Amino acid sequence: MSKFMFKVAPQNPELGSVTPYTIKSKCNYLRRHFDRIEKVYQEETEELWKDCQAEQERTKDHEDDSEHDYSYSDALREIEFISLRMHRYSAILASYAYLENSMSKLCTKYHDSMDLPLKPAEVTGDGIVKFKLYLERLAKIDFQAVNKQWSHLCTLNLIRNCVVHADGDANLIKQSRKLIDIINSSKELSFIEEQLIMMDASYIHSTIDTIESFLLHLFKIGR
């Protein structure tokens, strides 16, 4: 065997450093995975809807619904109220985790390269808010050009916290009124069964797009 071996790059881009290539690769993986699962539920929903219509036609002349098979409509409701919600919550958590991990890595990178007086772990705060503070105050990263993206990510942070700590019930978190107002004013966010957060597929896509452009900006401006 030759002593000269090529170094194999990690298949998962989040294992490496934060670069334009890894940012775009990871965001593309997030999109493709999400779309793949969405397609499965969409196709299943279409088939169940046909079954519901066929069952409705079969029993339309019956005197009562004693022979009506409700299993198709029950399965439809399960997808709408449970399965899709769980799937989209998973997409939110995966996207946020990548964002937070990437910001943490960038903080460490700038701490080492700029010999900053504080380590990221020594700054008070939590999650992406803490890392933004570090990048802004210590690494002197200008966030003005991505204020719109940051606003979206702050909402993402609230939703993520609600999913993690309250299983999506907006009534059970500390900033309940703030999150409820945000959701009520959004076209891509809504509530199902009182105060359980639900998001359209378009919100997941816009979130991944926002994370991608935000991280690319942080990389570019910090070079």
For residue 68, pLDDT over 90 is answered with no
What are 189's strand-pairing partners? 199
The pLDDT value recorded for residue 222 is 63
Return the DSSP state at 199.
E
How far is CA 99 from each of CA 18, 71, 73, 127, rounded to the nearest angstrom? 10, 40, 38, 9
Give 200's pLDDT tier (boundaries 50, 70, 90).
very high
Alpha helix positions (H), 59-175: 71-78, 84-114, 127-137, 147-166
- Percent of the chain exceeding pLDDT 70 equals 91
| Region for 64 from its dihedrals, namely left if φ exceeds 0, alpha if ψ lies in -120 to 50, beta otherwise | beta
pLDDT in tens, 79-111: 989 999 999 999 999 999 999 999 999 999 999
The pLDDT value recorded for residue 173 is 92
For residue 10, pLDDT over 80 is answered with no
What is the C-alpha separation between 137 and 34, in angstroms, rounded?
35
How far is CA 100 from each of CA 129, 184, 193, rounded to the nearest angstrom? 9, 26, 30
For residue 193, pLDDT over 80 is answered with yes
Give 194's pLDDT tier (boundaries 50, 70, 90).
confident
